[in-house]
Amino acid sequence: MSVKGMAHALAVLALMGAASAIAAEKKYGPGASDSEVLIGQSVAYSGPASAFGSYGRVMAGYFEMINASGGINGRKIKLISLDNGFSPPKALEASRKLVEEIGVLAETGTVGTPPNVATQKYLNQKHVPQLFISAGGSRFDNPKDFPWTVPFYPGFEMEGRIFARHILTSNPSAKIAVLYQNDDYGKDYLKGLKAGLGAKASLIVAEASYELSDPTVESQIITLQASGANTLLDFATPKFAAQAIRKTHDLGWKPTQYVASPANSIASVLKPAGLENAVGLLTTQFTKQPDDPAWAQDKDVAAYVAFLKKWAPNESAQDFIALSGYINAEGVAMVLQRCGDDLTRENLLKQATSIHDASLPMLLPGIDLNNSAEGYALYHKLSLARFDGKSWVLLGAPISAAP
């Protein structure tokens, strides 16, 4: 063999060896293979929080779109989305099915505090990533005790602090009434509000809680009105927030009213409450709003609206819950992309907890995602917005909850 021929042969062998090494480096956990990655979630498609159903439907549509373009790193993404009825026992049953019967790589994007509280211990014991859950409770950012739980939604305590900062700036002598859901969701918001008010926590003159099983919160709103408060905070889920907004209007009570971001959807909360009844309502935001004229020419908003028309045609561009599902799916796709050919549960967790200055298309400018192995929370700023009868209008640049 000539020197030239030998060199060619060695080069071919080297390439073959490199290819073999690359192939050997592929690592798979349950639900992952050369052709597919299987992930799962549970969402309230029925029950008192069925408005959250659009979240799961949009996530499913997103991965259908991704698969139509070839998937991620050459693999199709199969999302199994089960109904939990916003019931903790049903959520736990769904997680067991996903892990023990279906064999998913991870549970991703499960919606709501009660369902995720119910499954957190089980998934951590099984070392299954509870990845990018749609819940902002403080208990979900606890790497020491629950290392497999990674939250995606902005922290509820942080949002409560931001509401407090706005109240202290805009009305430092406010008389505050609070409606809150009697679980970790509502209590975290209340905790953040009080922490943000600090020495002025005495501005809170009345609190009223409700249970998920309650048919309405009308009696609570009547009680809060009687306190003489001129500021009302609705730390409620969609169904009850809509009831609170409508009842407040029907009573002729006109407090400055804030609503928690999980319940600020125009389509599933404000329209049922009556758009005219929601004028002046305040909330926090971290996303571009498709119906806001300020984003009319934005290419990412146009892409989202086009996505809905093709892949989730029954969902509204005004539904913040649906938009949240889209952003969550973008985040999951980003992490799966970063995993490359190491699709183990351990690497998935590593990639999801080492994110630096990531910006997803539908996030507001100035809101980047950052976390670490020491702190899993991704969001650290939010913007205030006011409802003008048609859309949410931003009140300025994103602000931090820090003093």
What averages of pLDDT result for each successive group of 10 residues across the chain (403 residues)? 45 46 76 98 95 96 98 98 97 98 98 95 98 94 97 95 96 97 95 97 98 96 98 96 98 98 92 97 94 88 97 94 96 98 98 97 94 96 94 90 74
Quick one: which of 241, 323, 252 has its CA closest to 282?
241
Judge whether 51 and 268 are in contact, CB under 8 Å.
Answer: yes
Question: Residue 29's pLDDT is what?
Answer: 98
Question: Residue 403's pLDDT is what?
Answer: 66
Helices (H), 211-318: 218-226, 238-250, 271-273, 299-311
Query: Full-prediction pTM beyond 0.95?
Result: no
- 180 residue type, one letter: Y
Q: Report the sign of the C-alpha dihedral through residues 252, 254, 260, 265, in that order.
A: positive
> Any idea what DSSP says for residue 287?
B
Domain boundaries, the chain: 36-154+297-372, 157-285+385-400
Question: Residue 170's pLDDT is what?
Answer: 95
Architecture per CATH, domain 157-285+385-400, reads as 3-Layer(aba) Sandwich (3.40)
Question: Residue 360's pLDDT is what?
Answer: 96
Pick the CATH number of 36-154+297-372 from 3.40.50.800, 3.30.499.10, 3.40.50.2300, 2.40.50.140: 3.40.50.2300
Cα–Cα distance, 325 to 64 (Å, whole number): 14
Asked whether the domain spanning 157-285+385-400 has the same topology as the one spanning 36-154+297-372, the reply is yes
Cα–Cα distance, 312 to 57 (Å, whole number): 7
**Angle, nearest 10°, between helix axes 184-197 and 113-125?**
110
The full DSSP string for 101-131 is: II--SEEE--BSHHHHHHHHHHHHHTT--EE
Q: Which run of H or E residues covers position 68?
A: helix 53-68
Beta-carbon count within 10 A of 47 CB: 16
Question: Residue 54's pLDDT is what?
Answer: 96
Q: Which two tokens stand for residue 142?
A: 């606890």
**Cα–Cα distance list, 393 to 28, 79, 290, 389 (Å):** 46, 34, 12, 10
Nearest-Å Rg of the Cα atoms of the chain is: 23
Judge whether 267 and 387 are in contact, CB under 8 Å.
Answer: no
Q: Which two tokens stand for residue 188?
A: 């975290």
The values of phi and psi at residue 232, to 5°, are -125, 130
